[in-house]
Amino acid sequence: MPEHVKVITDRLPTLFIPHGGGPCFFMSAVSPQPPSIWDGLGEHLRGLAASIRHPEALLVISGHWETEIPTVHTGAAHSLYYDYYNFPEHTYRLTYPAEGAPAVAARTRALLALAGIETATEASRGLDHGVFIPLKLVYPDADIPIVQLSLQADLSPQRHLAIGRALAPLRDDNVLIIGSGMSFHNMNAFRRPGPDYIGVSDDFDTWLTQAVTSPQAEREHALARWAEAPAARIAHPREEHLIPLMVAAGAAGSDAGTRIYAERLGGITAISGYRFG
């Protein structure tokens, strides 16, 4: 083999994690949700880091930040953005003192520029709850620097798959790419859970898992057309919580996708989490 060919032997995976509802892991469940509704997801998130080599930085794409063009947080430190409402007072005092990663932010912008993708920067927006709430479980010591990347507000699946493909080299730099959202995100189903949602969430979850676990070309073709899937617009009346999956899948390249978490929240809605590589 020529000496200039780089052999990847220990490349980090990419992840799509469900991040729950608001500060759900740090409060009692809200009726009519059963008291244990978030226990299984919390257990999954707490055990996730054990299966992954310790990264030098995290690049997180949350379903809770949209901008006209992809925007990279470049600050050396983070505040928190408590972007949830009418929750217990103590949930607005949660902390997560992770540092920023300006060098990774610059590398992120450079990779996107190489792919012809325009970006912007900002340095003051706090980490939203799609980032700090799950990471308090995954990496509770807050000892890994974080860069947050926004979604592009058009929510184009093709665009976000391309963003992921452009960012794939970060995996070789020991940066863990995390898409944070929900595989099923219909607020009516969470506020008024009922048996009518069992079949439709199963239909979409079955389709999504089949798409994610298909070879790269089939996977990207299917995900780009997710809105044609069974029950797609019931599962996602608006797709901001699904689109982070596209970035994780795009960055996966030819690596296989696997479902690493599956549960029926409250006995009703099927929810899944995925790993690539």
CATH number of the domain bearing residue 39: 3.40.830.10
Residue 3 domain-assigned? no
| pLDDT, position 195 | 66
Strand order in the sheet with 120-122: 120-122, 71-73, 146-152, 57-67, 175-181, 14-18, 269-276, 257-265
Residue 183 domain-assigned? yes
Residue 50 domain-assigned? yes
Residue 5 domain-assigned? no
Q: What is the pLDDT of residues 165-199, one digit of tens each?
A: 999 999 999 999 999 999 999 977 666 666 677 78
Are 213 and 256 in contact by the 8 Å Cβ rule? The answer is yes
Count of domains forming the chain? 1
| pLDDT, position 198 | 78
| pLDDT, position 123 | 96
Q: What is the pLDDT of residues 244-277, one digit of tens each?
A: 999 999 999 999 999 999 999 988 899 999 999 9
Residue 229, domain extent: 14-276
Cβ-proximal residues to 5 (8 Å cutoff; 6+ apart), any chain: none
Residue 8 domain-assigned? no
| pLDDT, position 5 | 34
Are 18 and 271 in contact by the 8 Å Cβ rule? The answer is yes
**pLDDT over threshold 60, residue 48:** yes
Residue 4 domain-assigned? no
Whose tokens are 């940066």? That residue is: 175
Residue 2 domain-assigned? no
**pLDDT band with cut points at 50, 70 and 90 for residue 115:** very high
Residue 87 domain-assigned? yes
Q: What is the mean pLDDT of the chain?
A: 93
| pLDDT, position 50 | 97
Task: Give Cα separations from 51 to 137, 145, 201 (angstroms).
Answer: 14, 19, 28
Q: Which helix (H) or strand (E) holds 260?
A: strand 257-265
**pLDDT over threshold 50, residue 4:** no
